[in-house]
Amino acid sequence: MSHNKNTPIYLIAFLLFLGGVSYLCYFGFSENSIYFLNVAEARTASPDKLVNARLFGTVAEDGLKNPANGSGVIFRLEDKDNTAQTILVNYVGPVPDTFKPGAEVIVEGGISGKGYFTAKTLMTKCPSKYQKENRKS
């Protein structure tokens, strides 16, 4: 009956292991969480939510600029539902061919100290090949 004496040790070891895994999961996920927000939500969000965020919206018709070095773009991202809500985005990197005013985009990055959103990635929503007007009937 020696295995009954070891049961509390195994139970304690299991609980310690479970506690360690829980701790790592909780703090690992909370440190690396990315908030997915529309422009209106981003404008009212607390600064900690905008350190690492993904925003979606539409490229505004005006305010589109290419930086002097030619890499990237500066533009106003507007809320899809409320075009009065905008945020200035500065993106450095290759710009997708489908990027243009009116295009739906997703940017990932964070708010800079100067108050604009610095994007590390820029993705455009591709128009579907299967839209009604493109079908041959």
The model's pTM is 0.67
pLDDT, residue 16, reads 82
CATH of the domain at 73: 2.40.50.140
pLDDT tens track for 7-44: 888 888 887 877 777 766 565 554 456 788 999 999 88
Full residue range of the structural domain in which residue 6 is found:
1-32
Question: Are residue 43 and residue 53 in the same domain, yes or no?
Answer: yes
HSE-CB for 74 with a 13 A CA cutoff:
9
Question: Are residue 27 and residue 49 in the same domain, yes or no?
Answer: no
Q: CB of 67 within 8 A of CB of 74?
A: yes
The residue whose two tokens read 């994007």 is 119
